[in-house]
Amino acid sequence: AQTVTQSQPEMSVQEAETVTLSCTYDTSESDYYLFWYKQPPSRQMILVIRQEAYKQQNATENRFSVNFQKAAKSFSLKISDSQLGDAAMYFCAYRSAGWSSGSARQLTFGSGTQLTVLP
């Protein structure tokens, strides 16, 4: 079974600064997807960025980028030019690329990192 670990329960960053959230995972599979979701106080789970394991290039979405280290099984999220609206709980998630069963398609989430943005 896959596991996802987020070792930072809470992080804070000054507005306009850069912050990096850590995520490690454990899997024996070679093909999979990794995601970062944010959950603001509204509780809506919003996709931030995704990475296919077969792609060596790190994914980027505007101010959000990842550092994907497949061999180290590490998938960190970097937020540049932090804004007050970035304050949320951030979840790292893993998903197998297999098709064989419903359980193979499930997202496995980490425990989350609560990000506070200081004005």
Using the rule CB under 8 A, is 112 a contact of other proteins? Answer: yes
Using the rule CB under 8 A, is 105 a contact of other proteins? Answer: yes
Neighbours of 115 (CB within 10 A): 21
Q: Which positions from 2 through 31 interact with other proteins, judged by CB under 8 A?
A: 4
Beta carbons within 8 Å of 67's beta carbon, 6+ residues apart: 20, 58, 74, 75, 76, 78
Count of residues of this chain found to bind other proteins when the rule CB under 8 A is applied: 25
Q: What is the DSSP letter of 63?
A: T
Distance CA 38, CA 48 (A): 6
* The only residue of 43, 62, 71, 85 in contact with other proteins, by rule CB under 8 A: 43
* The only residue of 22, 45, 65, 70 in contact with other proteins, by rule CB under 8 A: 45
- Given the rule CB under 8 A, which of 18-26, 60-68, 73-81, 91-99 is the region that contacts other proteins? 91-99
* The only residue of 50, 70, 73, 78 in contact with other proteins, by rule CB under 8 A: 50
Handedness of CA 40, 52, 102, 108 (dihedral sign): negative
Beta carbons within 8 Å of 72's beta carbon, 6+ residues apart: 24
Residues found near other proteins in the complex (CB under 8 A) = 4, 33, 35, 37, 42-47, 50, 91, 95, 97, 99, 101-103, 105-107, 109-112
